[in-house]
Amino acid sequence: MPELLLASTSTYRRALLARLCVPFTTQAPGVDEAAVKATGKGPLAVVTELARQKARAVAARHPGAIVIGSDQAAAIDGEVLDKPGDVVRAAAQLRRLAGRAHELLTAVAIEHPAGVVEFVDTTRLHMRALSQAEIDRYLAAEAPFDCAGSYKIEGLGISLFERIDSQDQTAIIGLPLLRLGCELRRLGLRLP
């Protein structure tokens, strides 16, 4: 079986991939994400390019391996909502999302010896109206400062939403396992 690598340092993606019960290792891709985001391209182009660059960077160091690169962005009004990093930015993001629908784009690029497979999972999330007090309580309880959109859907963040339209709930956390599992099987990996 070929070596499988996850081009990511994300604990969320590592935990998701582990659910497929296939041996893999992780490696930091070392991609300049800020440079890609600074191009001014739309959210779909940004996540697609970042997933591709991450997979390509690690694959260049591991010829013959299968390398998974992924990137995710929350998008509203054609703009990317980055990981907020702190409570002030997180509160601003949640105020902007409150009472509205937005998209969560999760791009995957799988570099392998015969080429590359790329796909994007799009989830539409409908956040309920939120008061500032609710936003403050949520941020104090969960501190989602490392999450696109300022929420952790796998935790208390689920309480912020009215509806989620998704083909694969694992994509919301960072890696769409339904499609990924199919693609890895096609590439010859044995999954349960």
DSSP letters along 134-183, please?
HHHHHHHHH--TTSTTS--TTTGGGGGEEEEE-S-HHHHHT--HHHHHHH
In this prediction, residue 136 has a pLDDT band, given cuts at 50, 70 and 90, of very high
Tell me how far apart the alpha carbons of residues 180 and 182 are, in angstroms, rounded to a whole number: 5
- Among residues 15, 13, 46, which one has the least CA distance to residue 31? 46
- Does residue 165 surpass a pLDDT of 90? yes
Give the mean pLDDT of the chain: 95
- The active-site residue out of 71, 77, 86, 168 is 71
Residue-level pLDDT at 159: 97
| Phi, psi angle pair for 112, to nearest 5° | -145, 170
Percent helix / strand / coil, the chain, rounded to 5: 40, 25, 35
| Domain 4-186 fold | Maf protein (3.90.950)
What are the sequence ranges of the domains in the chain?
4-186
In this prediction, residue 54 has a pLDDT band, given cuts at 50, 70 and 90, of very high
In this prediction, residue 158 has a pLDDT band, given cuts at 50, 70 and 90, of very high
Question: What's the mean pLDDT in 94-119?
Answer: 97
The reply to whether 82 belongs to the active site is no
Burial of 150 (0-12, 13-18, 19+ CB in 10 A): buried
